[in-house]
Structure 1
Amino acid sequence: MTYRQPAQIDDRTRAERLTRRFTELYGHPPHGVWRAPGRVNLIGEHTDYNDGFVLPFAIDRAAMVAVRLKQSSDSAAHSADLASSYAPDGGLAKVSFTIAELAPGSVDGWGAYPAGVVHVLAGLDGIDVPGFEVLLDSTVPVGAGLSSSHAVEVATIVALNDLLGLGLSHPDLARLTQRAENEFVGAPTGIMDQSASLMGRAGGALFLDCRTLESEIVPLPLAEHGLSVLVIDTKVAHSHADGGYAARRASCERAATTLGVTSLRDLSATADDAAPAPFLDALDVETARRVRHVQTENRRVLETVERLRHGDLNGVGKLLTESHVSLREDYQVSCFELDLAVASALNAGALGARMTGGGFGGSAIALVHAVQLGQIRDAVLSAFTAHELQTPDIFTVLPADGAERITGSSELSVG
């Protein structure tokens, strides 16, 4: 069967539609429209908050914000008014807050993500964040492990960076959005997702050192090799703010302290798949398995990067599958639906497959020959039907450019 994915609306058309809807909503046009993509993490899971290595790529699904800074003469000049198309009834969900009164826990739901960004910006010396209006739209699936929340945060912070002329660099913006997640939203996430959304490039994956934020775009020419990355959204919702993710991070931090290292990054990334004996002496069995995953996952990232540098995309598949086994067995963040998606894709001919994202639900990815997309998709759907599970969303993604302004000028006077 031939696989056909529904065509997506191009960014310019989306921006024009968002501008019209913003104008209808607020009674005047926005100062501009910005987009920030979601991401797929090709490999390197739960290594980011351990100062390790990751290899994500920005995808061709993105959050988009139309933004207007309020003038001093506007009513409620120091408040932010936000609207989003996330409302389940097809309408608009709305959130408002006074910037000076923002504090962790003061805004919940989807509004916490842009509010967190505003909170950390307003806390920087010499930065006065005025009131503003936002209309948000996103094509990044929510709860699928593709960083829908980070896309919203990045779109917001890039827009404010431009509009306020702050001149913050991509690493600056990445660290600030991480602070927004950690301190305001309450999710102990690492630095990977926002970095991919900010620094991704079409045709490549972002090889990122999460300690230094040094990065390199590694070629990922899928189409040239007749390959596709298939995303299987299991529809099992997950949240980085829940306890499982935080527990894994805390376990890693305790292990690093016990082993006398700053972070698990400082352990050799060249170990084999058996945890070194000293770990078993110093750590309980469960924690040693967590450490082993981080250690071997860093090795898999480095090997994947080398294979991509040499054009060996087919060889990457085995490493993806090894990553999933480690996440399932050692880190224990998979679930039945993710395991089923991976197994059914592999059985139908995928070169490799694994869960992607924080786990406990969300999506799996499969590296597949493009000519096999139809048969692999059908195999996954049949497996989910046989187990009487919710029908997954299955679609392909391509490496895309990172966050950028689509329309409008950054040179505005606010007063």
Structure 2
Amino acid sequence: MGSADLAARFEQEFGRLPDGVWQAPGRVNLIGEHTDYNEGFVLPFAIDKTARVAVGVRPDSTVRLLSTYGDHGMVTADLGTLAAASAKGWTKYPLGVMWALQQQGITVPGVDLLLDSNVPLGAGLSSSHAIECAVITALNDLTGAGLEPEEMVLATQRAENDFVGAPTGIMDQSASLRGSKGHAVFLDCRDQSVQLVRFEAEPAGLVMLVIDTRVSHSHSDGGYASRRASCELGAEVLGVKALRDVRLEDLDEAAGLLDEVTYRRVRHIVTENDRVLQTVELLASAGPGSIGALLDASHVSMRDDFEISCPELDLAVSTSRANGAIGARMTGGGFGGAAIALTPVTSEQQVRAAVVRAFADAGYAAPDIFTVTPAAGAMRIS
């Protein structure tokens, strides 16, 4: 839905025009999975699928929230009594942002808010962070808070961790708030420094396919938290601030200090950080056609060492590779969601057809397959 259509729908629902419309993109993580909360390196990019919010300031402390999708009905809350336990469904994301801003001493006004999003839900493309980033961009403008992108990243992380209850890092918000068209966001999660790395598949004769397995996941469930706990245990036993500080050459020694499962969790993080650095170097020197083997190795590591894949993701990856993709991996937090397949334009239709056929043969629900390109970050659009 375009900004004019969303504003018109807002007027229809709330009886007045909004003060503006803002949008923030979902993201695909090219490489660097679960490294963010280990103070490591990630390489996501903002995608051309966005969450949009039309927002109008109210004279009181009431918040009214409405979404264009689903039969959710209007949700009303009061800014004076925001509590995580009372927030349900998608509304916990905008309410969490409002709560986090209040925790920073920012006076948040009551608002009417209408959400529209075409970021697939539960696909590992960060639909929730897209909502949060659109809302915080709107509130930053409307309150005159003057927050820098780095500050908005930390505020939305606080909303996720302490209000939504998902122990996520800063990668998703950073991609959504700091993305740039035609570039991936090389993020150092220790100091939040960002380097934009050119990543354009089409000039290299490639497309980035996203294969949404339609196996939904939730980061507030236990699998993500248990992986994070393993990483924290590994860092504690190895005597480092974070697994970012463990080098490849330290892994042999680590194997003698850690139990077998914790060691494999640690090995994934250490090797994945190295793969991110290699990918950044290769993109600069040889272009996107050179990174396929690193995508493949990342998936194997997530499947075997971090154990966050699932049969549908593994099938999407193996079928893509067998039918012409130059590299493929699951992307996102895992336990479902989407895989990406970097594919020659000439093989795109073959890969699409083969994956659909493989899913049908396995008795899985039909996947949703689409292309994405690196897009601009969060902004006001009207």
Shift of 1:348: 0.2
Q: What residue identity is the alignment partner of 1:339?
A: D
Q: What residue identity is the alignment partner of 2:293?
A: K
Alignment of 1:78 onto 2:61: yes
* Paired residues for 1:3-402 under 5 Å: 14-71=2-59, 77-87=60-70, 91=71, 93-125=73-105, 127-268=106-247, 270-271=248-249, 276-402=251-377
Q: Take 1:211 and 1:105, find their aligned partners in 2: how far apart are those partners?
A: 31
Shift of 1:311: 3.4
CA contact 1:234–1:363 (8 Å) conserved in 2:
yes
Q: Take 1:94 and 1:26, find their aligned partners in 2: how far apart are those partners?
A: 10
TM-score by length of 2: 0.98
Q: Take 1:209 and 1:199, find their aligned partners in 2: how far apart are those partners?
A: 13
The residue number in structure 1 matching 2:379 is 404
Unaligned 5+ residue runs, structure 1?
1-12, 72-76, 408-415
The residue number in structure 2 matching 1:412 is none
TM-score by length of 1: 0.91
Unaligned 5+ residue runs, structure 2?
none
The residue number in structure 2 matching 1:4 is none
CA contact 1:116–1:180 (8 Å) conserved in 2:
yes
CA contact 1:83–1:93 (8 Å) conserved in 2:
yes
Shift of 1:92: 5.2
CA contact 2:204–2:287 (8 Å) conserved in 1:
no
Q: What secondary structure sits across from 1:105 in the alignment?
A: helix
Q: Take 2:265 and 2:296, find their aligned partners in 1: how far apart are those partners?
A: 18
Shift of 1:320: 0.3
What percentage of aligned pairs have identical amino acids? 55
Q: Take 1:254 and 1:310, find their aligned partners in 2: how far apart are those partners?
A: 37
Q: What residue identity is the alignment partner of 1:368?
A: T
Shift of 1:315: 1.4
Q: What residue identity is the alignment partner of 2:195?
A: E
Q: For the aligned residues, what is the CA RMSD?
A: 1.0
Q: What secondary structure sits across from 1:64 in the alignment?
A: strand
Higher-helix-fraction structure = 2
The residue number in structure 2 matching 1:7 is none
Shift of 1:86: 2.9
Shift of 1:104: 2.2
